[in-house]
Amino acid sequence: MYEDLSNYHHPVSGLFTYPKTKADWERYRLSDEQIAFFHEQGYLSGLRMLDDEQVEALRNELSELVDPKHPLNHLFYEFYTNESTDPGTVLFHALGAWRIAAGFHDLLWHPQFVMAASQLLGGAVRFWHDQLFCKPPRHGGVVSWHQDYSYWRRTTPLAHLTCWIGLDEARKDNGCMHYIPGSHLWPDLPITGLTGNMDAIQTVLNDEQRAAFKPMAIELKAGECAFHHARTIHGSYPNQTERQRRATVINVFRDGVRSAVGHEPVLAGVPVIPKGQPLGGQFFPLLFDPAPFHRPRARTRLSCANTPARTPIESAGE
């Protein structure tokens, strides 16, 4: 049976194991050195998130989700079989897999993810939205340099965080993520586009920023992840290899972030949240509260409520 999994604010499958005690949770904590590096550089990479079996399970789900004829395709907030503006390249990009596939739904409560997110954000963690990115072999398109928060200013304050999880090995030659270290300390920049011209952002940088624009390649094994600040400039180059480059992204915010708009949804497909009201409810579940530690419990699925109509709103890229 197909249903909207956004109605479940707890795991619904047995793909992941969840800690039972506070002591169990402790092994997922980041070190003081890792947290300091994140705040200094704007990113943290190389954490192992998924084992081989979990990677394969998510790949299998992804192989079904990329089909625009999937019976629950209408639940995606956004769905692009190809978002690239270059007709010679392909970039599959979709938001909302958590509503459709049990593995991508339950990934939101992964203990390694929620513990790290809570430490880096400094509090309880709520879900913002997820993303899927696929760069096929030989002609995978670019994701142009950008800041995520440039696209997310319909929420306030800036207390957002992104986790990029590789479902394939991500290397320089197949389009891994690149960060500009320290750019999380720069101000909000104008939107210059997510695809097409990789270096369009250069037109809005000042001389000092251009001099500091030194990309750091984030090469990851399948199942590893990287976190980055919502102002950290990032992007990824083409995939020109014979290998796929698939990834999933989880975007979250610290509990208490509010709507900065009152006349449109803060996210495509969700009800309007009055300006000044904190985000919560069906589409923005609380994932983790560090005091006390919570262990999500798998429960029997319930019937689903009707889903609202979608309103297209451009999202940030990976």
pLDDT at 307: 36
**DSSP letter assigned to residue 220:** B
Does residue 312 carry a pLDDT above 80? no
pLDDT range class, residue 154, cuts 50, 70, 90: very high
| C-alpha span between 198 and 236 (Å, rounded) | 8
Burial 150-167 (b: 16+ CB within 10 A, else e): bbbebbeebbbbbbbbbb
pLDDT at 87: 77
Tens digits of residue pLDDT in 107-140: 999 999 999 999 999 999 999 999 999 999 998 8
Does residue 294 carry a pLDDT above 70? no
Contact 155, 260 (CB under 8 A): yes
Assign 3-class secondary structure to 222-279: CCEEEEEECCCCEEECCECCCCCEEEEEEEEEECCCEECCCCCCCCCCCCCCCCCCEC
Percent of the chain surpassing pLDDT 90: 83
Q: Map tokens 């999500």 to a residue.
A: 296
In 3D space, the residue among 135, 137, 234, 133 whose CA is nearest the CA of residue 178 turns out to be 234
Contact 145, 235 (CB under 8 A): yes
pLDDT at 105: 98
Mean pLDDT to the nearest integer, 256-266:
94
Choose from 50-64, 188-202, 259-273, 303-317 the range with maximum mean pLDDT: 50-64
Domain ranges of the chain: 5-288
**DSSP letter assigned to residue 140:** B
pLDDT at 313: 42
**Can you state the angle between helices 32-41 and 111-121, rounded to 10 degrees?**
60
User: Which two tokens mark 257?
Assistant: 């972030």
Give, in words, the CATH class of 5-288: mainly beta
Coil/strand/helix, residue 65: helix
Does residue 305 carry a pLDDT above 60? no
pLDDT at 22: 87
More confident residue, 316 or 90: 90
Instruction: Of 132-141, 154-163, 289-298, give the lowest mean pLDDT range.
Output: 289-298
Does residue 208 carry a pLDDT above 50? yes
Does residue 308 carry a pLDDT above 60? no
Percent of the chain surpassing pLDDT 70: 92
pLDDT range class, residue 292, cuts 50, 70, 90: low
Tens digits of residue pLDDT in 25-40: 999 999 999 999 999 9
Does residue 306 carry a pLDDT above 60? no
Does residue 309 carry a pLDDT above 80? no
Omega before residue 181 within 30° of 0, cis: no
pLDDT at 111: 97
